Structure 1
């Protein structure tokens, strides 16, 4: 009997440990999934992968691993972490669920950056989207008649969540603007610009969303017949809010016309970068033209082009910008071979190609972003760990309560040595459980508060980013200082006597000169000189067209003895500074001379 009871007790002891172990394992797996802990050595080198970008990662899908893009494409799907440092020979890749097998096809993310959609699939339905939260691919319901076209770009307007595909798949004449809606999983057709716009029926172009300009910018490509476009090295802009097209007027050395190139932008949209590509103008006698590896940077604020230092030539490559660093991966090199797995990194600040990637920081710069998914995963993981600890503690308490034994002899009837009643033990357990619940609730509230603070910090950094990296110096306006006439009394300024002369004046240059007589023996400070107004003689020509000479008499100056009352403090008056003496106590009374 005792053996059975002991065996039953040991079984009950093992159950809490098993439950705790299962909870900890599930919590660890859940946290690792959201933290993207499944690292990988990296994808196989390919040409023409679909690529799209979130705030923290670059995603690449598919691509052709065979030289000349003649082999079957792959279905590999990887993400590149942009929040940690890595070397260009070993980027921080994470392997994800395999997706559709395709090459040279567009991809873009939804407004909330939780779903990535790809188009130009070979079989209907012609699109599929990936859910980051579930790591699952799902076929779209969109069927597009021109899904066999290549060279179409897809860009998401982050303000509306709509996806724009210029010269898209709903019309086989490449003259439609396709608009995909994530919410309804459907595509509609809009009109392209008229023939006076350079982007009409364009293919193999580059496009990107500019956050600063709130528009889509296009550069390069062929026409609908895959022929060179004459004078096409211009930037075309589509303002999605008004559905208006325009050709931007830029300055500086614009990049030569090209196709199959890579176009990307920085986080605040103040910079658009064009890298590599295939020259659209054929060489002499139609021979092959070498691929490009040059770098051109457009300042979207001043619309000025600058040229960087060239790198390895590439076409059909994936690219993005993070922390003022251009990252290029995959594509076809100048020998028509699939580019190696090594990534190319170009520092846009120092205009140099480097080997190490430096992630963005959380110090308030334009590239500092907070990963909301990582925050949510961390909060969920923390709550799960706390729950596991609470359950483990409760199970331990119950185990000790059920295995209480007597430590005295059978004849000892002392009250102190008797086990506590079951009701009292249960009450203490309930109290302890309630206390733990309160602690758990407080910790959950603290975690939620931290999450909200991080989100607010992210929003503040996003608001401050465009001003910090716009590179536009705003001159500080100096405050204008002026004098308030009513703020106090200002002493009058008295001028000295005009020069003495006996010369008459007859020229216009003498009209502004006054004449003063002085009497010998009188102190000038004891005189008040009343200057009579100087008459202005007529100026001009007579009827006989000869200059008129006008002679004016000298003005009369009257000398007044100093004993006359009501003099100015200086002892004299002057027409240019009229002064009145006022009696004390009544400053507004006018004294009659």
Structure 2
């Protein structure tokens, strides 16, 4: 009797520990996300009629989990007394030291200007939000813009998007490049060489060469000061901004060109090598951009395909992929971790937010839609002059990664208390022994009452043209930025492409 009882109870404790540690978010879309210190942070978005959220979720990627039970924790209550901007389609980027991150911009459905243009800062170590005072020269609040990445000197790059009455401004496209120096706390709109047509609902990805690649979305043509027209940008049209020289260049991609789309999500791939039976991430390959999904002119006809752009050859590839394909969607957010593209949330063909998580495993050939996520135990030696995109260990998460992070520690604590209680119960009652009724009555008087269950993107070299007196850092911040490619704040437009319907 003892063994089956303890086995069943162990299973119960494991399930209880998981329930205590993690939770399942409600479906949403148009959220901003960031990978920092082995944790994916997702802020804001849209849910139902709530066109601008303040929730903050964290997905632990230092531990394994299944797509049926991702390791989510809810940090929405960390705001405390700070009034946070309720936004969707905003930008998110890390501080230069990788110990905090910023949110900025976006829009809402309240038709009003967002506090401080949606500018706020979160520090995971203290679980505290604050409103930065660095607002001098802050650009006009906008949505459907995209932060691409940080450069090694700690400067964030933002491009594209537009403002309308949901942002407290006129219906206006933004062709300018915006930067924020997280070291000196300075906003800047630098002068650039060359020009490209403004876009929104595109993807923006920073290569290791500090070049920002713009894919897909919609072109916007300003007609008057308060109106613009829009049209889909062909997937052959690739715009690249070189942050080293502040220069725009346009290229034509060929190959197996995918269909046009807006509000897709994209990540920079990584080189994967194998050592024994373990796959090991070595370094950003700086070449391939993986794009998932996106929207079409019909809101119930979103895409679920994977397409890859080789930025060296400017060739499109549509790879063969095994496994169960996730639901079609646009306005999702994603991260690339240890050879796996993690796709979260999104706007589905049911015209509602999705809450699931999908994992594309690129460590095998062909690629596969996996049923679980698996972190790598080690990283290969880094080549000279190249920094790994993610750290092997961090104080915030990996110190407890073996037990599932902080959430896992809480679950284990709860389980341990219950285990102590059951062990004491079994030791005192000894139900597996045959005893007469009088002995049972005698033992029942022992003091069991003392035991109670407890539940619970700027260059390493100074670029005077963009920013002055930039400090030098040996490696770029180990954070990966990803944003949903955005479209309409409420619903995707249908076959008409009128901007006032997006």
Q: Tell me the distance in 1 between the aligned counterparts of 2:389 and 2:374.
A: 11
Which consecutive residues of structure 1, in runs of 5 or more, have no partner in the other structure? 1-36, 379-457, 463-593
Q: Which SS does the other structure have where 1:125 is aligned?
A: helix
Residues 530-569 of structure 1 mapped to structure 2, 5 A cutoff: none
Instruction: Please say which of residues 359-368 and 216-225 is displaced more in the overlay.
Output: 359-368
- 1:342 is aligned to 356
94, 99, 103: which one pairs with 2:73? Answer: 94
Pairwise CA distance, 1:245:
1.7
Q: Residue 276 and residue 226 in structure 1: after superposition, are their counterparts in 2 closer, same or farther (change >3 A)?
A: farther
Secondary structure at 1:108 match in 2 = strand
Matched residues in 2 for 1:329 and 1:125: separation? 27
Size of the aligned set, in residue pairs, is 330
Give the C-alpha shift of residue 112 in structure 1.
2.4
How far 1:192 moved relative to its partner?
5.5
Q: Provide the residue aligned with 1:130 in structure 2.
A: 122
Say whether the 8 Å CA contact 1:81–1:93 is kept in structure 2: yes
| Structure 2 residue matching 1:51: 3-state secondary structure | strand
Residue 327 of structure 1 aligns to a residue in which SS? strand
Gaps of 5+ in 2: 1-18, 107-112, 164-168, 221-227, 271-283, 382-387, 401-473, 479-502
| Superposed displacement of residue 86, structure 1 | 0.3
2:156 equivalent to 1:156? no
Give the secondary structure class of the aligned counterpart of 1:237: strand
Question: In 2, distance between residues paired with 1:363 and 1:177?
Answer: 35
Q: 1:279-358 to 2 correspondence within 5 Å? A: 279=296, 282=297, 290-308=301-319, 309=321, 311-339=326-354, 341-348=355-362, 349=364, 350-358=366-374
Give the C-alpha shift of residue 116 in structure 1: 1.2
1:82 maps onto 2:61 in alignment:
yes
Tell me if the contact between 2:212 and 2:240 (Cα under 8 Å) persists in the aligned partners. Answer: yes
Structure exhibiting the larger radius of gyration computed from Cα positions: 1
CA distance in 2, matches of 1:323, 1:84: 12
Bigger relative contact order, structure 1 or 2, given CA contacts below 8 A and separation 6+? 2
Higher strand fraction (1 or 2): 2
Match of 1:244 in 2: 247
Report how far residue 374 of structure 1 moved.
Answer: 4.5
Alignment of 1:404-415 (within 5 A): none
Contact persistence 1:273–1:298 (CA under 8 A): yes
CA gap of 1:333–1:193, structure 2 versus 1, over 3 A, is farther
The equivalent position to 1:54 in structure 2, one of 30, 33, 36, is: 36
Deviates more, 1:243-252 or 1:327-336: 243-252
1:278 pairs with 2:295:
yes
SS in 2 for 1:235: strand
| Partner of residue 209 from structure 1, selected from 199, 206, 210 | 206
In the alignment, what sits opposite 1:369?
Answer: 391
> What's the CA shift string for 1:384-437, capped at 9, x where partnerless?
xxxxxxxxxxxxxxxxxxxxxxxxxxxxxxxxxxxxxxxxxxxxxxxxxxxxxx
Instruction: Please list the CA deviations of residues 229-285 of structure 1 after superposition, one character each: whole Å capped at 9, or x if unmatched.
Output: 454532221121111222245442132221111111135133211111113xx4xxx
| Structure 1 position 332, deviation (Å) | 0.7
Instruction: Tell me: CA distance 1:131–1:176, structure 2 relative to 1, closer, same or farther (3 Å).
Output: same
Once superposed, what is the RMSD of the aligned Cα atoms? 3.1
Structure 1 equivalent of residue 190 of structure 2: 190
Contact 1:278/1:315 (CA < 8 Å) preserved in 2? yes
1:179 to 1:41, Cα distance in 2 relative to 1, 3 A:
same
Question: Which has the higher mean CA deviation after the structures are superposed, 121-130 or 137-146?
Answer: 137-146
> Take 2:72 and 2:263, find their aligned partners in 1: how far apart are those partners?
25
Looking at structure 1, the residues matched to 259 and 156 of structure 2 have their Cα atoms a distance apart, in angstroms, of 28
| Post-superposition offset of 1:146 | 2.9
Matched residue of 1:373: which SS? coil
Contact 2:328–2:349 under 8 Å retained in 1: yes
Summarize deviations over 1:444-463 as a string: whole Å, max 9, x none.
Answer: xxxxxxxxxxxxxx99xx9x
Give distance in 1, aligned partners of 2:186 and 2:147.
14
Partner Cα separation in structure 2 for residue 107 and residue 326 of structure 1 = 19
Q: What secondary structure is seen at the aligned counterpart in 1 of 2:395?
A: helix
Instruction: Go from structure 1 to structure 2 and tell me whether the alpha carbon gap of 1:321 and 1:375 turns closer, same or farther (over 3 Å shift).
Output: closer
CA–CA separation in structure 1 for the residues paired with 2:55 and 2:158: 24
Does the CA-based 8 Å contact 1:168-1:177 persist in structure 2?
A: no
| Selected match of 1:139 from 110, 117, 131 | 131
User: Cα deviations across residues 331-375 of structure 1 (Å, max 9, x unaligned)?
Assistant: 110121211x22111122332212111112205177873223259
**TM-score, structure 2 as length reference:** 0.59
Q: How much does 1:295 deviate?
A: 0.6
Q: Determine if contact 2:178/2:188 at 8 Å carries over to the other structure.
A: yes
Of residues 320-329 and 299-308 in structure 1, the stretch that sits farther from structure 2 once superposed is 299-308
